[in-house]
A = this chain, B = another copy of it.
Amino acid sequence: MPQKRLLTPGPTQVPEPARLAMARQVTHHRTAEFRALLAQVLADLKVVFATENDVLVLTSSGTGAMEAAVVNLVPRGGKAIVLESGVFSRRWADICVRYGIEVVRHSVPWGQAIEADDVARVLSDHPDAVAVFGTLMESSTGVGHDVEAIGQVVAESNALWVVDGISGAGAMRCLVDAWHIDVLVVGSQKALMTPPGLAMMAVSAAAWQQMERFEPPAFYFDLKLHRKKILGTKPLEGPDTPWTPAHTLIAGLAESLKLIRAEGMEAVWARCDMLSRATIAGIEAMGLAPFAARRAAGMTAVRVPPGMEASALLKRLEARFGVKLAGGQLELSGKIIRIAHFGVIDELEIIATLAAIEMVLDELGYPVRLGSAAAAASRVMQSSVRSRGAVAHGAAAT
């Protein structure tokens, strides 16, 4: 039986130190020990998100934190611009509609990326918009957005820039402060290598100011209650949470963050980016094409060849090789497969996965030259290592 290899764009594999931390006997959470743990986690998250803003940890999926962003920022009857390019960015609109918020949708065909110039146009048409809701990595299509350029445009308006970085943050470069992101929403089970159950938010001073203007239709997700506890009731007490947190998951997150910090953010982003380029080179060597018009460092969506069933491809990958990839969602069902290359995923995992896809394509009668994907991906990896000077260093050491 093959080893299980999980390469879906969430959940992702969790490193052993995190898994063992979550197996420890449960302790109480209203203690100095938990406050110290949470303080460390929040400090590490600030580094990962490149921010000095307040960071919160909620016990919910990423969707819960998306809802928290919406209901705390935009009052009923207020206006929001939603940048819609796939399943997950559409969810911003669904949440807004549920709360009686006027939604201005700027949509692009799935697989395309939102352009900053278009956002500028929408903003000038709607100067009364309270917030612009967008997506870093639209994991339903594999598109990585230019959150920096859009952030620049939004910063010139009165609106707040709210980014779903649930699957992208920690994989793609995402500089909250430099890119004028007022609220970033992140999930635990993606690049942060922790099981699902936690959502992280980075909240700017401008966003807190907006939240002071009204009482949100929220209780569990009332972010002002969270902020009060994060700041600590007494100065020396350290941060806390308003409701009982999933603290074993936070203990796991702390371990995964240690690994991320040890690698360094620049190195993590460079690795994911290199794996993205290697993956695309590999699939192109098989004659396949990426689906996204603008690639995301954290994952690649691949068009399934005409006449081939995506489900057959995915099932054989899992049955023979233990490789679990994701298929397409909603209207992309059957049309794409999705490969994650963030979190614990390394060079050899991508080489192995590409080889598995190639062999299954061969099984299914699709013409491939065996080894071509590994060759193409390896060349990207070697070129990347050479450009970092690591090979030269290795040669000198021998």
Asked if A28 meets B14 with Cβ closer than 8 Å, knowing A196-B59, A196-B247, A197-B249, the reply is: no
The residue on B at minimum CB distance from A248 is B195
Which of B20, B60, B189, B246 is A26 in contact with, Cβ under 8 Å?
B189
CB distance from A49 to the nearest CB of B (A): 20
- Cα(A195)–Cα(B219), bound, Å: 22
CB distance from A76 to the nearest CB of B (A): 9
Asked if A219 meets B61 with Cβ closer than 8 Å, knowing A4-B25, A196-B245, the reply is: no
Tell me which of A91-99, A178-186, A285-293, A390-398 binds B. A91-99
Check A374 for interface membership: any CB of B closer than 8 A: no
CB distance from A27 to the nearest CB of B (A): 7
Asked if A244 meets B10 with Cβ closer than 8 Å, knowing A67-B220, A220-B221, A221-B220, the reply is: yes
Copies of this chain present in the complex amount to 2
Which B residues are CB-close (under 8 A) to A12? 26
Check A324 for interface membership: any CB of B closer than 8 A: yes
Contact A11 B23 (CB under 8 A): no
Chain A binding site: helix, strand, loop or mixed by DSSP?
A: loop
Which B residues are CB-close (under 8 A) to A246? 61, 195-197, 246, 249
Most-contacted residue by chain B among A12, A215, A244 (CB, 10 A): A244
Which B residues are CB-close (under 8 A) to A25? 4, 6, 13-14, 19
The residue on B at minimum CB distance from A11 is B26
Which residues of chain A (152-192) have a CB below 8 Å from chain B? 187, 189
Check A353 for interface membership: any CB of B closer than 8 A: no
Count, chain A residues at interface, CB 8 A: 50
Q: Lowest 6 A-B CB distances belong to which pairs?
A: A197-B246, A23-B23, A195-B248, A61-B243, A64-B220, A61-B244
Q: Can you name 20 A-B residue pairings with CB atoms under 8 Å? A: A4-B27, A11-B26, A11-B247, A19-B22, A23-B23, A26-B189, A26-B195, A28-B324, A59-B59, A59-B60, A59-B61, A67-B219, A98-B217, A98-B219, A187-B244, A196-B245, A197-B197, A197-B246, A220-B221, A246-B249
Q: Told that A6-B27, A61-B245, A187-B244 touch, could you supply 19 new A-B pairs with CB distance under 8 A?
A: A4-B25, A6-B25, A8-B28, A13-B26, A14-B25, A14-B26, A22-B195, A26-B195, A60-B243, A62-B244, A63-B220, A67-B219, A94-B219, A98-B215, A195-B246, A196-B246, A196-B247, A197-B245, A197-B246
Residues of A within 8 A of B (CB): 4, 6, 8, 10-14, 19-20, 22-29, 59-64, 67, 94-95, 98-99, 187, 189, 195-197, 215, 217-222, 243-249, 324, 326
